[in-house]
Structure 1
Amino acid sequence: MDTLETPNTPPLPFHASAKRPRDLARELGLSEAELLDRHDGPEVVRLRPDIRAVVEALPTLGEIMSLTRNEVAVHEVVGRFGSIHLDGATGLVLHPPLDLRLFLAHWASVFAVDIPDEKGPRRSLQVFDAAGDAVIKVHLRAGSDVTAFEAIRTRFAGKPASPLTVCPYPTTPPAEPGDPKAFREDFAAMRDVHEFVPMLRRHGLDRRGSLDAMDGAHVRPLAPGAATALLHAAGAGGIPIMCFVGNRGCIQIFTGRVTTIKAMGPWINVLDPGFDLHLREDLVAEAFEVRKPTRDGLLTSVELYDVRRGLVAQFFGERARDRPEPPVWRELVASLPRDGAVDPRLQPKD
């Protein structure tokens, strides 16, 4: 989980608190970005938000761990930045195992963090949105290029003219749908999943609202614990999955098999070499099986939503481009119990 940095604000020493930055910031009534900005010392440097140039410099770091999270899920992938394509305010990183979708309009502040530790310095570049919430954190590893990190910190450092200001995003009410029948007709005619988001805009729907407009052939509510059951089944069956976790500014994707799945308190965790997932299933308010039409047949996903009806994670089966999804993935999802049913896989054993 997000434990690789422990910034604090004076008068406490920088490394004095064992609390996670998000937890400490909440206790102090700050955003995490404000917490970093108020630190007075060389351990934290606020960088100029020259976002495109910062992104383009990331490959120089070598092997890193990329962390993307929201309130419910933390997604960590070890890899190297490369194959970066920027187009206006959006970006794509497709350099397996690193797979990212970047929404740069929400990249508001950037910090270089270098924490002293008895095991050696812990270095990272951390990006936050306008509300001060983390977008992505790029953590250096033992084999990372420290000289490149220092060069980025030096290149983009500049004494800020004023303290960082943050502005919470306004609460967005659920979208008022247009004609559900017209949406269902368009949806049924969809040939590519990338048509889905523009379709939502045309029909005045958000993603969660679209599920209410779909018919039973395309959406099925799942019982609590769906993600835990899915991960255990995929691990036991050796079924490759795709796991998407995102926030306003970034979506990070893992593709592959999961093997080590462990529950720790409220968290269900995947703890595999090169990939960690930490999911607060108690904060998942709703889960759904969703089947989207494509030219290659129905594409099945499991979608998790929080109490605010925001999408926090998605799971797909791994598939080759322009090929149908594997039947074993469709069978796995079909085996997940419907909402209101009890999944025997999640019951305590005598």
Structure 2
Amino acid sequence: MNLNPIYTDPYSPQALKQEWSELCLAIPRLRIREAAATLNVSEAELLATECGSTVTRLNLDWPLIFESLSATGPVMALTRNDFAVHETTGLYTVTDHSDDGCRVESNTVNLQLLTQVIHVAFGVKEASPNGPRFSLQFFAADGSAIHKLYMTAASDLKMYHALIKQLTSADQSQHQAIQSPPRFNRFNIATFNSRRVTQTTTHLHRDTEDFYSGLIKMGIVSPLVETSSSTLTFLRPDLFHPVLNKVAAQDLYITICVRNYGCIQVYQGPIQNIRITGPWFNILDEHFSLHLNTEAVSGFRVNTQSTDGKQVLKTLEIIDANHQMIALILLNAGQETDNVNLWNELIAEEISRGNCLG
């Protein structure tokens, strides 16, 4: 199998399509993200090889997209980074949008999407055990996936197909032009700022600041955090399963956040169905799923933030070997004092048992 070097133009879409087909035969159930990595190309380049068949390249008419998605009925929204996949199912209700991005907030789907980061979109039809599966997928200029929307059994497929027809681009070639990847690591993100989109390569603490600033803008975290002081405690990586089991047993309403450099997606509520599959820690609930690659987790930061000596936020920051955040977990705002105390005691118990790193 001849692997195409990434970001080399031109390449042969026909050869790439053949290599993808051979790879799928050799490794059944291989996901497109892993296939793209194996073939040394981006997801967008791989999908484009199916244009004219099961994939449709789309124009980015955001007002039409937002209006139509709000009327499509329940969808499954998916946002991921290298080590975590966050899925929520519900209405895709766009509550605010501008030239920079949009805010989606409904019964369960809660996210902020930076449309400035998105350069190409596809309508995708793929086979599944339950029949054809339809999705709308958005990609950055380097061909990496930013956000995906999958139709569900309760979605209005007539609305979806009408939207795809209206958005269909005149360009349905099987070649997808992409830009070279940014010269910074995978977790340097776009700042979630309504006035501009910036990118940074400087300090790791900016990674944390940008994550929290995005959550402040979404109303997930109090603005008080901007002026608060922080105390960091590091916990061992193998505590993730027992800590989340305790959260599930206590029926605590928590917030779980995953982001990449173009989207922050949030779930707020209880968790119930926890399963371990190989290296993957999974939460598999009715309207929410989380898939976390535990092999990438180097530990937790317990971030206790306070203003004027009063505790306002205690979060679990799941970090990788570079101390950059994979995901963020905190207690939902506005809960009763008993639940706040229970959450704090749960974390304090692990610290007191000597489960700290370093």
Bucket of the pairwise TM-score, normalised by the shorter protein: 0.7 to 0.9
Q: Check 1:58–1:321 CA distance in 2 against 1; reply closer, same or farther (3 A cut).
A: farther
Work out whether 1:260 is the aligned partner of 2:273: yes
Are the equivalent residues in 2 in contact too, given 1:224–1:339 (CA < 8 A)? no
1:323 and 1:237, CA in 2 relative to 1: closer, same or farther beyond 3 A? closer
1:305-335, Cα deviation, whole Å (9 max, x unpaired): 2234432200011222899972111112222
Counterparts of 1:21 and 1:294, CA distance in 2: 45
In the alignment, what sits opposite 1:18?
A: 29
Contact 2:252 2:339 in 1 (8 A): no
> d(CA) in 1 for partners of 2:124 and 2:46?
12
Correspondence 1:34-53 to 2 at 5 A: 34-53=45-64
Q: Which moved more, 1:310-319 or 1:15-24?
A: 15-24
Kindly state the Cα deviation for residue 117 of structure 1 after the two structures are TM-superposed. 4.6
**Secondary structure at the residue paired with 1:100?**
strand
SS in 1 for 2:347: helix
More divergent stretch after superposition (329-338 vs 38-47): 329-338
State the match for 1:185 in structure 2.
Answer: none
Matches within 5 A, 1:1-350: 9-10=17-18, 12=21, 18-117=29-128, 119-160=130-171, 163-166=175-178, 167-171=180-184, 173-175=201-203, 193-194=222-223, 218-293=231-306, 297-320=311-334, 326-337=340-351, 341=355
SS of the aligned residue for 2:17 comes to coil
Give ranges in structure 2 of 5+ residues lacking alignment. Answer: 1-15, 186-200, 207-220
Q: How far apart in 1 are the matches of 2:241 and 2:271?
A: 12
- 1:168 shift after superposition: 0.8
Worse-matched range after superposition: 247-256 or 155-164 = 155-164
| Identical positions, percent | 27
Does the 8 Å contact 1:91/1:104 carry over to 2? Answer: yes
1:230, distance to aligned residue in structure 2 (A): 2.4
- Number of residue pairs matched? 307
**C-alpha RMSD of matched pairs (Å):** 3.2
Q: Note the C-alpha offset of 1:175.
A: 2.1
Task: Check the 8 A contact 1:31/1:132 in 2, yes or no.
Answer: yes
Q: TM-score, normalised by structure 1?
A: 0.78
CA 1:56 to 1:170, structure 2 compared with 1: closer, same or farther past 3 Å?
A: farther
User: Taking structure 2 as the reference length, what is the TM-score of the superposition?
Assistant: 0.76
Unpaired runs of at least 5, structure 1: 1-7, 179-191, 201-213, 344-350
Q: Give, as a single letter, the amino acid of the residue that structure 2 aligns with 1:257.
A: P
Query: Does the aligned pair in 1 maintain the 2:51–2:172 contact within 8 Å?
Result: no
> How much does 1:124 deviate?
0.5
Q: CA deviation at 1:274?
A: 1.1
